[in-house]
Amino acid sequence: MTSVAISQRSSTVTASMTTDRAQIRAFLDRDPLLAAYAICDLDDREFPRTRWGAAWSGGSIVAIVLEYSGGSPQPLFVMGRDDGVDTILREVIRPRLAYVASLPDLLPTIQRRYRLDAGPQMVRMVVDRDSFIPAGDPGVERLVPADAPELNRLYQLGFGAWLPPAAISEGVYYGLRVRDRLVAAAGTHVVSPTARLAVVGNVLTRGDVRGRGYATAVTGAVTAELLRSCDHVALNVRADNPPAISVYRHLGYAEHVRFEERLAHRIGSPWSDVVSTIRRRLNPRKEFPST
């Protein structure tokens, strides 16, 4: 194991930071579709932005926690045995505020260290070349970095998100225009040529033109291009969003697993409560039409 920092021991479980991508990947391959984001983050472009905590027992990895760097709250992916996860979160990976993604049965373990906001369950859906059902093409087009301002204006309607032009050039984005106005778009969260795996996201259609198949068209175009070089394409969708789930099923996506994605506040960290209150006041909760 290639480790950094120090090791901590809890009964028979040892936790440490690790940068050994081969060992991390071997563990994540127990369920590569659940761990799709994490596996993609092992690629050279993403790996420097990550921190990995591993728990060991009997000479084997029993749990992994991935922290993706960036502004607070940081994305946090949790996978593995509950005692291993608890040791990592107690001693190694300890953000004050994070968006944690995990299987439902790990929530009690996470709640030993974090207070979790309520939220709907998420669905991981997956498609491959055999199951993919191409959509019709009512004029979709591949977006380029110069389209970033128009794409960001669309995303501000639903996500409050902002994408730099580099994100468009590094990923795969398709859009659909009506009377020269971008009304629907879909893209990628992460793509791994090494793992032959990609995650679709940022799917949005303007509210005044929904129900016309535009989301299906742009998501289908992104998926079709990704499947030329990827074996599997995954996406996340809220379990309480039947219209979006229906869109993806029409393209051949099928449910792989349901998981939790919650805003997590470190217990004993009052600063996270202050940040959460400010975020809620500045950004009232929105119900998004899709991923």
Instruction: Look up the pTM and report it.
Output: 0.85
| In-domain check, residue 272 | no
| In-domain check, residue 62 | yes
| In-domain check, residue 267 | no
Burial 159-193, CB ≥16 within 10 A → b, else e: beeebeeebbeebbbbbbeeeeebbbbbbbbbbbe
Do residues 187 and 176 touch, judged by C-beta distance below 8 A?
A: no
* 134 and 245 fall within a common domain: yes
CA distance 224 to 247: 15
* 82 and 195 fall within a common domain: no
| In-domain check, residue 184 | yes
* 182 and 81 fall within a common domain: no
CATH number at residue 100: 3.40.630.30
The label of the residue with tokens 């563990």 reads 27
* 25 and 103 fall within a common domain: yes
| In-domain check, residue 290 | no
Domain range spanning residue 104? 3-116
Do residues 93 and 50 touch, judged by C-beta distance below 8 A?
A: no
Do residues 244 and 203 touch, judged by C-beta distance below 8 A?
A: yes
Per-residue pLDDT of the chain (291 residues; tens, 9 = 90+): 433 333 344 458 999 999 999 999 999 999 999 999 999 999 999 999 999 999 999 999 999 999 998 777 889 999 999 999 999 999 999 999 999 999 999 999 999 999 999 999 999 999 999 999 998 777 899 999 999 999 999 988 655 567 888 889 999 999 999 999 999 999 999 999 999 999 999 999 998 888 889 999 999 999 999 999 999 999 999 999 999 999 999 999 999 999 999 999 999 855 545 555 555 454 443 333 444
CA distance 190 to 68: 13
Which DSSP helix (H) or strand (E) runs through 198?
Answer: strand 197-205
Torsion on CA atoms 216, 222, 223, 229, rounded to nearest 10:
170
CA 15: distance to chain centroid?
A: 24
CA distances from 195 to 5, 108, 227 (A): 28, 32, 13
Query: What is the predicted pLDDT for the residue at 3?
Result: 37
Task: Tell me the chain's radius of gyration from C-alpha atoms.
Answer: 19
| In-domain check, residue 291 | no
Other C-beta atoms within 10 Å of 194: how many? Answer: 12
